[in-house]
Amino acid sequence: MDKCPDEVLLKVCAWLEFQSVANVRLVNKRLAEVGAEALVKRVRFHCTKDSLRRLHAIAQHDVFSKYVDTIVFEGNLLASVPCIHTYQAHYELDHHQSERPQPPSKHATPREHRLYERNLAKFNREIEKKYDRYLDLYDKQQKVLKSAAYADFISSSMPCFPRLNKLVLSTVGRCKHVLSGRFLESFTADCAMPIEQDTSFTKDQLKHLLFPQGRPLTQLAALEVHVMSPKFFTGFVPAGLICRAFQNLKVIDLNFRLEKDDRIGLDIMTADRCYADLAKGCLRDALSAARDLEQLTINFDDYGYYGAVTSLENILGSNAWPCLYMLNLDCMSTTEDYFLSMLKRQPSLLDLRLGFMTLEQGRWPNATRRMRKSLDLKNFMASGILEDPDQMFPMHLLDTEAYVEEHHHFTLADAVGLYVTDEFRNAEEEDYHPMLDDDFTDEETLREEYGPFAEDEEFSDMDCSD
């Protein structure tokens, strides 16, 4: 074992259980350091005092801190549930029906009615206890937020990881497939916990992660935030500091959502007015600072599509990134000419993903035709609706012929993707464009006309047909 290179030992440790790696670390100093690298390359923490202290302890550890390359902050906060009636209403939803006592039938006996009343009273008492437990969890978290815990534990810990190159802030998950085991243990509620939907708190969370003690982390190569307030880029942090933090990033993945007070405006104003401050250009300048950018994702998630939130030019400007090979954008407006010129400026672009994009000038059939001729994309994926002044193109529409004859769900998005990236072009089909093909129809319309199509199934053992 002493003759094995560190790289081999690290691979071996990666396959071992936690306790086995801990035992290997006891053998000698060399194995202790190799085992430490296998154990703590990625650190996840969340908003409880115990979790923040655990992060701080790893940061202060002479060995563990040297090998951490990824920090994940599960920034989910519990929502305020103002009264027990709101909490009770949740248990009236369909997925809790099996837990509620079922009312007796019309012909039930008096004894069955009394049993139902007793069970209902017992159920309501249990709801009250569950609500009290939830309030206790909520109050404990609020105490952490109102204290100096972020400054004491996060800001003081972030500079202590010399190999740190990836930072993730996640505030969207609430199921066990997304959240860590420790998170679920810390917030052991009796039902799926209500998540605070206001993104105003994300500004402070990201500030402590990205600018500990007021100084930007400049060694990062990847930044992912799902979801965040757009106000982070409108004066909350000085623009110069943001540009310094972004300068070495190769992967940027940002998902925006309006703060609670600003979301009210979506009912009375257009989305672009609610996001008007993005036009000031701080986000555009920050992206411009990332000269070695390879992957860029800018998405917007406001629980529905309310129209284009800003122009593509406000976000990307006239920037060109020599190494950019993946671009993922949604919910923006642009013009055909700017859109094509922007794409042509990216010499390495291979993968383009668009969702709910609006052309204010030009047409999508022509834009995609120009993309087909001028770009060398390996993947093009469109989702939602592509809109221009003449028409809306829902990407979920299905090819009628493929649906009826072969039971295939071949969407307009699939067809446009193949059209733009097609390497085997037939001169006879150059005039064809899937966006102009009337054969694409809504699935519900197809079902009404042709009836439901079951998926092909294997013959059962009882099938005696040839």
Task: Name the pLDDT band for 463 (thresholds 50, 70, 90).
Answer: very low
pLDDT above 70 as % of the chain: 87
pLDDT for res 354: 98
Residue 460's pLDDT band (cuts 50, 70, 90)? very low
Lowest mean pLDDT, pick from 33-37, 423-427, 453-457: 453-457
Cα separations in angstroms, 218 against 146, 211, 291: 28, 9, 13
pTM to 2 decimals?
A: 0.87
Q: What average pLDDT does the structure give for the chain?
A: 88
| Contact present, 246 and 292 (Cβ < 8 Å) | no
Q: Is 62 helix (H, G, I), strand (E, B) or coil?
A: coil
pLDDT given for residue 462 in this prediction:
40
Question: What DSSP string describes 42-53?
Answer: EEEEESSHHHHH
Could you tell me the pLDDT band of residue 456, with boundaries at 50, 70 and 90?
Answer: very low
User: 242 in the Ramachandran plot: left (φ > 0), alpha (ψ -120 to 50) or beta?
Assistant: alpha
Q: Is the pLDDT of residue 166 over 80?
A: yes
Between 90 and 298, the higher pLDDT residue? 298
Evaluate whether 271 touches 230 at the Cβ level (below 8 Å). Answer: no
Beta bridge partners of 326: 295, 351
Q: Lowest mean pLDDT: which of 179-193, 346-360, 425-439?
A: 179-193
pLDDT tens digits, 314-329: 999 999 999 999 999 9
**Fold held by 40-79+151-450:** 3.80.10
Domain ranges of the chain: 1-39, 40-79+151-450, 84-144
Q: What is the pLDDT of residue 461?
A: 41
Whether the per-residue pLDDT at 223 is higher than 80: the answer is yes
d(CA 365, CA 398): 17
Q: 266 pLDDT exceeds 60? A: yes
